[in-house]
Structure 1
């Protein structure tokens, strides 16, 4: 007989069960596995950079729920890459997009017409008109930027368009902060506090709404003893970066660097591609490089890229 009924005495008197038996039920010999959310087993959603080579550099793209900084000197390709990200965000997730609209914040609306004109020349994904899914605002100061971000919560929760807003682009964060603070101790403390407030709000929106935040940043020249390299202990801590033959560092210093999750650096340099024939002028080409300075999901790496009329594209160089 495999099963026996419990005796009435054992049911009425739990103390009749030996202590060793009760301990064996209370503390199983093999601990049960802890259930985990299914979401943790799925690939983390990312926003494609619009080019498979560039996206591969970041293991699929920019992670959702984080802040990515794109830094570089003027004409390095920062704004052009941001326009490509805006187009990518329109794509459905299975094609590397967010299926979403974008919020573009500029220091002034004056350059917006030229930016949007460049955007209209890029190939539109899935025959969608990108201008119908871009919200544009200007922030003249850090305080104004904070006000816009709080107002943007309504765009995340209920967008006027058919697609929700899931991409925020601030072009550029340095221009918004540049004219607001002087170079004295009191203003530097105020600026650092504002860095943390702006970053905290952007990170909260990214996590809460499943969004991607992209900010562009300018660079400053680094000279003399301020050069730290990888192991220094000064204001420009981090790897030495080069652009146009100059040693540079992203603007706004170490305090801002601690506010972002990923830093992408775009550099450019002129190289002699071929010598002129019979004393003619040499042919010079612009070499552009995208470098992942730091990121939570990929190691430091880089690749060359080109800017064409139809977008930004990485190059696979022959080895």
Structure 2
């Protein structure tokens, strides 16, 4: 029969056995800066209504995608972001320079004219064009190289905004629709997205990309384009069901997805039923974001910029 031990036998317990029951020391927490506990700064969209839709704007240190079909206002909104970044933080800006990357510089002259017509947020000069850098990416590999070289701009010119317009145009021209190319494409845009996120986090910047959309022909195709898991209800534009291009893998790369849509409606009909006045209604929708719920509002594009009309209260 085993004998029961008493409290007086504690000294007889071997040292290695007592160590097994020794109290575990509680680690002392490492002090952290108070600034890290404050909300992250955001980049204003250049309009109070649109910025309010995103609870102040695009969060610093994140990657945002602006998707939509042609003529929905993606490039115009990007130009407005380039100007907003020049503003001081107290006015919703980043007080910084910015980098615009395009598939080709050939259409840049028209963008330059549109940018010069927008009201400058700085009064008086210098011109906002002095703080905007531009480059063309001919392929995904070239885009990655440009982003790698942009590290020097972040350090020397206080760069805090990178805009790629558009990511789908750069990738679509390089890969075919076969299994091998799709794997290579997926690995490449993982690298591009990771580089943009790393720059945004390290330099306190905002990374923005525009994306095209594809038509969704039926429920069986929704999984192929990889959007039902993220977006929930279908995205509609011009009376069609659409989804952002590049599939589910790419959707997992971005932190925030903004969808722009347009619908043409007949506003008035002439006496003879021939002359019609068509009104274009545009809508901005936050599909998913780390800091705000799904929401939307209508907006208009004027000569002086992009402006929201009202926010849907759901």
Category of TM-score, reference length = shorter chain: 0.7 to 0.9
What residue in structure 2 maps to residue 158 of structure 1?
156
Structure-1 residue corresponding to 2:194:
200
Q: State the secondary structure of the residue aligned to 1:147.
A: helix
Asked if structure 2 preserves the Cα contact closer than 8 Å seen for 1:122 and 1:311, the reply is yes
How far apart, in 2, do the equivalents of 1:27 and 1:236 lie? 48
Equivalent residue, structure 1, for 2:113:
117
Structure 2 SS opposite 1:69: strand
CA displacement at 1:82 relative to structure 2: 0.2
Compute the TM-score of the two structures, normalised by the length of structure 2: 0.85
Which residues of structure 1 form unaligned runs of 5+?
A: 1-25
The answer to whether structure 1 residue 315 and structure 2 residue 309 are counterparts is yes
8 Å CA contact 2:226–2:249 kept in 1: the answer is no
Residue in structure 2 matched with residue 176 of structure 1 by the alignment: 170
Which deviates more from structure 2 when the two are superposed, residues 97-106 or residues 236-245? 236-245
Deviations for 1:143-200, whole angstroms, at most 9, x for unmatched residues? 00111011000000112xxxx1110000000000011111111111111100110011
Shift of residue 130, structure 1, vs aligned partner: 1.2
Q: Judge conservation of contact 1:107–1:138 (CA < 8 Å) in 2.
A: yes
Residue 92 of structure 1 corresponds to 88
Equivalenced residue count is: 285
Which residue of the other structure, out of 40, 48, 54, is the alignment partner of 2:36?
40
Contact 1:62 1:212 in 2 (8 A): yes
Which residue does 1:130 correspond to in 2? 128
* Residues 1:294 and 2:308 are matched in the alignment: no
- Rounded Cα–Cα distance in structure 2 between residues aligned with 1:311 and 1:184: 41
- 1:224: how far off? 2.0
The alignment's C-alpha RMSD in Å is 2.2
For structure 2, the residue ranges without an aligned partner over 5 or more in a row are 1-23
Judged with a 3 Å threshold, the aligned counterparts in structure 2 of structure 1 residues 105 and 126 are, in CA distance, closer, same or farther, namely same
Provide the rounded CA distance (Å) in 2 between the counterparts of 1:201 and 1:265: 23
Q: Deviations over 1:277-311 (max 9, x none)?
A: 46453322000000000000000000000000000
Q: What is the Cα deviation at residue 273 of structure 1? A: 2.2
Report the TM-score, using the length of structure 1 for normalisation. Answer: 0.84
